[in-house]
Amino acid sequence: MTQAQKIRNRINTLNYNEEYSAKIFDDVASQETIKKTLQRSQNIIAKTSTKKFYRLYLEDDRGMATYATFDNEVNVKFNHNDYTFNAFWQTSKPSTQSVSAVIRNYLATMEPQDIRTLCLNFGRNRVKRELILKYKEMYAQGFLNIKGLEIALEGRYDRNPAFLEILGMINDC
């Protein structure tokens, strides 16, 4: 078991209404691992000024964190009525789609309302992760193919203006 897994396991045993500091993980991991794991954790609420945190409370019906259901799932029941238009034009009825396809199709539209809906349905971190993976894949390929027109991609993906604009919309969720 890695140090990060040990930290995540310990977070799941913490009480919801108590304030904790990173010192409770000193016996299971290095300071650098603790810092990175706490920054990435979706199971805590951090108070940055005091460097303390609380365990995130999730209701049993998953009403507060719908995305937790989809973090490990590949497919989801998709209903186009939740979005401004149907990006899966092949069907006008609810269908089963991959989570990645839903997120990537609606990120490509750059519609702020749809991006907000994605964040509500799948969580900001999942949407951000799909955005980063999509742009890394495009830049690894070296070009963008739009109906036969190949546009060369140069530089770094995280400096692309479209990437930065979409990332800003995700961060505003």
- Among residues 157, 164, 103, 98, the alpha carbon closest in space to that of 129 is found at 103
Q: Could you give the CA distance from residue 165 to residue 127 in angstroms, rounded to a whole number?
A: 14
What are the backbone angles phi and psi of residue 141, rounded to the nearest 5°?
-70, -35
Residues found in the chain: 173
Helices (H), ranges, 19-160: 31-40, 67-70, 99-109, 112-122, 124-141
Q: What does the pLDDT read at residue 61?
A: 40
Does the model's pTM come out above 0.75? no
Output the pLDDT for position 88.
81
The CA radius of gyration of the chain, in Å to the nearest whole number, is: 19
Q: Is the separation of the CB atoms in 53 and 20 below 8 Å?
A: yes
Helix (H) or strand (E) holding 3: helix 3-11
- Token output for 33: 């691992």
- Please state, in angstroms and rounded to a whole number, the distance separating the CA atoms of residues 22 and 7: 10
Per residue of the chain (173 residues), give pLDDT as tens: 788 888 888 887 877 677 888 888 888 888 888 888 877 777 777 765 667 777 776 544 444 344 444 455 677 788 888 888 888 877 778 888 888 888 988 998 889 999 999 888 888 888 888 899 888 888 888 888 888 888 888 888 888 899 999 999 998 88
pLDDT score, position 72: 55
